[in-house]
Amino acid sequence: MEQFYNSIQQIPQKLREFQCGDRVLISEINPAHAQKRNLYSQLFWTKTHLALLGHVGYVIAVNEQKKTALVRVYYAMPPGTELYHTLTEWTFDGLEHPHTVEHSKGDLVAITRGNPNKTTIGVIAGKDLVNFGGVPKYLVYLKRAANSPQLRDIQVTIDANPGWTDGRRDLFLCPVYTGARFSMVMRDRHEHAIHTYKQASVICGAK
């Protein structure tokens, strides 16, 4: 994993600014470095912070004076698919805007516009992307009830940093984690657990 992140193109510091609703990667991979950075900025450091290194969530609050962001990361506890979340505060230096976050068929995802009150859960429906008007998108099944046979599909762009349409942020997807220390990506109950978050593809860099 360290070798993977060492190969990532870093965003210049002057471009590393964040706003509410931005999807972000908690990109620090060295726990000791991350802890020192948080403590230097007078931020808490907990076991949850340690567990969330390398995870993807989105910003729900920004402190411009301290240059910190409060990040929401989603998780679920099998066999249920109810969404839970955890909140942790990070310095801007410990976060990046991911250019691409890839999901596999059967992954559970949180579907959101960056609004904590309007987030639902879905399942990546296919291993291949669909193309609408030249825009690659994921086909996602919305999950309503745990055993509901009725699924409605939507298309969500793969762009990890969506723009704004009609005054609203475009829909985007966040991984849903599970397991000890949130070490795995939650999967649909009909799919095998084939990977952990460390194997999920996250590519960062200025667009």
Q: pLDDT digits over 29-76, tens only?
A: 789 999 999 999 999 999 999 999 999 999 999 999 999 999 999 999
Of 35, 68, 97, the position where a domain reaches its end is 97
Of 36, 68, 97, the position where a domain reaches its end is 97
Q: What's the pLDDT at 177?
A: 93
Of 33, 64, 97, the position where a domain reaches its end is 97
Cα(31)–Cα(135) distance, integer angstroms: 37
> How many C-beta neighbours within 10 Å does residue 102 have?
15
Residues 110 and 188 in one domain: yes
DSSP state letter for 197: G
Question: Per the structure, how many domains does the chain have?
Answer: 2
Q: What is the mean pLDDT of residues 185-205?
A: 64
pLDDT in tens, 109-157: 999 998 878 899 999 998 889 888 788 899 999 876 455 545 678 889 8
Q: What is the mean pLDDT of residues 157-184?
A: 84
Q: What is the mean pLDDT of the chain?
A: 81
Full residue range of the structural domain in which residue 104 is found: 99-204
180: pLDDT strictly greater than 90: no
Are 2 and 150 within 8 A, CB to CB? Answer: no
Residues 65 and 120 in one domain: no
Give, in order, the Cα–Cα distances in Å from 32 to each of 19, 35, 37, 84, 203. Answer: 27, 5, 9, 27, 23
> How many C-beta neighbours within 10 Å does residue 127 have?
9
Residues 103 and 183 in one domain: yes
Q: Which of 94-98, 128-132, 161-165, 201-205 has the lowest mean pLDDT?
A: 201-205
Measure the N-to-C terminal CA separation of the chain; round to a whole number of Å: 23
